[in-house]
A = this chain, B = another copy of it.
Amino acid sequence: MKFEVTSNIQYTVKNQTTFLFNISASKTSSQTILEEALHIEPYILAEELYLKEGQKRSIRLKSNETGSLKINYRALVNLEIEFFDKEQLNQVPIEELPADIITYLFPSRYCQSDKLIRLAQNKFGHIENSYELVCSICDWIYKNIAYISGSTGSETSALDTVTDREGVCRDFAHLGITLCRALTIPARYFSCYAYNLQPPDFHACFEAYLGGKWIIFDPTGLAPLNGLIRIGTGRDATDIAVSTYFGNVEFKSMDVLNQVQEQNFKPFYLKDLQERGICLD
């Protein structure tokens, strides 16, 4: 299924600033870039930094001029979803986890899984099937955390979300990751262009490592899982922020879009995950 994704970000630069952007669609076995364009106005030479870990293609650029800076990214992407029956999606025993997956068991800045072990065990420890367990975590987050735009900020962590009970997609993903790790299921943050997200914006979900695959989950239930165009993954939001800048800039505006390019797209939501999961890796 083909999707066209675009993002337009605008800043006013007030002094020399280096930017890192994570807005490019990543290249994975399930995701192919058919066309792609990056426009920077005024023109600045940008560099692509590729990181195998997280398969992210960061854009780095340095603005020496003050004034307006516009970044425009557009890609035509083909996405081939792989479905797996829940019977195939068991937890991988720790003694069999690949070395580079073990990292995703450990706590991180926004996902203090060492602090939520008892909570996770009380609520989900009795669920034998690991795929059902992660679905239950998503369901619990969906029912217990209020999705409220602007309720949280860049310092909000999963611990805050447990007490405050409110947040945005980023916070929902962080809490999902944290509860998985607390139960020794590797989990990571997934940044993407989501189809049909209202209002349109960058979106965040999480992946859990089940049956040797990274399976996608979205505890917000806001977007179809088979329309998520992957930007990259990380331990948590800190690794895959849409934009990080070192300098003095003023954010002006951001437009994000993901449009399906074919007919017959059948959205597959969180609630459709009962029997089979999706791998976008």
Contacts and interface: CB of A to CB of B under 8 A. Distances in A.
A154 interface: yes
Contacts of A116: 163
Contacts of A102: 20, 49, 58
A95 B60 contact: yes
Contacts of A108: 108-109, 238
17 contacts: A18-B93, A49-B102, A51-B99, A60-B95, A103-B239, A109-B109, A109-B112, A114-B154, A115-B155, A115-B163, A118-B146, A119-B165, A122-B144, A122-B165, A159-B163, A162-B162, A184-B246
A201 to B, nearest CB: 22
Nearest to A166: B118
Contact of A155 (B114, B154, B184): B114
A38 interface: no
Contact of A99 (B49, B93, B164): B49
A277 to B, nearest CB: 24
Contacts of A93: 18
A18 B103 CA distance: 15
Contact of A50 (B94, B99, B166): B99
Contacts of A164: 115, 118-119
A73 interface: no
A18 B51 contact: no
A52 B159 CA distance: 31
A53 interface: yes
A103 B50 CA distance: 12
Nearest to A62: B95
A108 to B, nearest CB: 5
Contacts of A146: 118
Interface in A100-133: 100, 102-103, 106-109, 111-112, 114-116, 118-119, 122
Contacts of A106: 109, 238-239
A163 B162 contact: yes
Given A118-B146, A146-B118, A94 B18 contact: yes
